[in-house]
Amino acid sequence: MPLDLETILNLICLTVTSLALTGSSSQANDEDEKLIERFANGDREAFSQLVTKYQKKVFSVAYRFVGDTEEANDLAQEVFTAAYQNLKNFRGDSKFSTWLFQIATNRGKNRFKYLKRRGFFTNRGSSENDDEGDQSYRAFPDHSTNPEDLLSGSQIRHAVLEAINELDPDHRDIVILRDIEGFSYDEIAQMLNLPEGTTKSRLHRARMVVKEKLKKVLL
């Protein structure tokens, strides 16, 4: 049977706690600081350890922006290259992880615009063989108990993701970072150089826009 509006709102407003930012604890931050200090003293292996620690999360963020595994791999490499080249300028005003994902977000936004101008996303559906794409669908919980509900839930999740992709960039970025990737409001505000209040208001507006887009699916 069709999912009701309340269920859809729960899907949209979900924060994916299982994808919470790696290294958000003070202990992880201390570890990052030690690795950065080693890197500053000429230990290049220290940066390799940072890459190992954050590569899955950086790839995940990259994928949410470009929706393609190959493009996401290229983008993730670009992010780490930029981080390597600019780490000497990192002053510790924010956590290293926040600084790194700010680079990922900025690069992701630019790559998305570049690909969109060239028609990369035109008539491009989600690949059934794309495991990372499947993971993006799994970010939304499915409490179905029979095959009809499972089908309905899959259709709804697909509609939610399509609605997110149709948002204007300012709103889309915040929904990706908050509702799919699970970053905190404070982290998102730092990544996007926005006041936290603006971040919250834009997210609220984006969720309402997605809700309106989904009414056609529900009715």
Cα angle 86, 105, 56; round to 5: 85
Domain boundaries, the chain: 1-16+139-219, 21-128
Over residues 75-103, mean pLDDT: 92
Res 196: pLDDT: 92
Between 17 and 180, the higher pLDDT residue: 180
**Percentage with pLDDT > 70 across the chain:** 70
CATH code for residues 1-16+139-219? 1.10.10.10
Tokens of 49: 């350890």
List, for residues 66-85, the tens digit of each pLDDT value: 888 999 999 999 999 999 99
Tokens of 167: 């948002």
Cα angle 8, 144, 5; round to 5: 20
Between 92 and 26, the higher pLDDT residue: 92
Band of pLDDT at residue 121, cut at 50, 70 and 90: confident
Average pLDDT, the chain: 77
Res 123: pLDDT: 59
Res 194: pLDDT: 92
CA distances, 102 to each of 66, 157, 205 (Å): 16, 27, 22
Tokens of 56: 């899955």
List, for residues 122-168, the tens digit of each pLDDT value: 756 544 445 444 444 334 444 444 434 433 556 666 777 778 888 88
Band of pLDDT at residue 12, cut at 50, 70 and 90: low
List, for residues 107-119, the tens digit of each pLDDT value: 999 998 898 888 8
Tokens of 115: 């690909």
Q: Quick check: 84 and 47 in contact, CB under 8 A?
A: yes
Res 36: pLDDT: 94
Record: fold of 21-128: Rna Polymerase Sigma Factor; Chain: A (1.10.1740)
User: Does residue 16 carry a pLDDT above 80?
Assistant: no
Band of pLDDT at residue 93, cut at 50, 70 and 90: confident
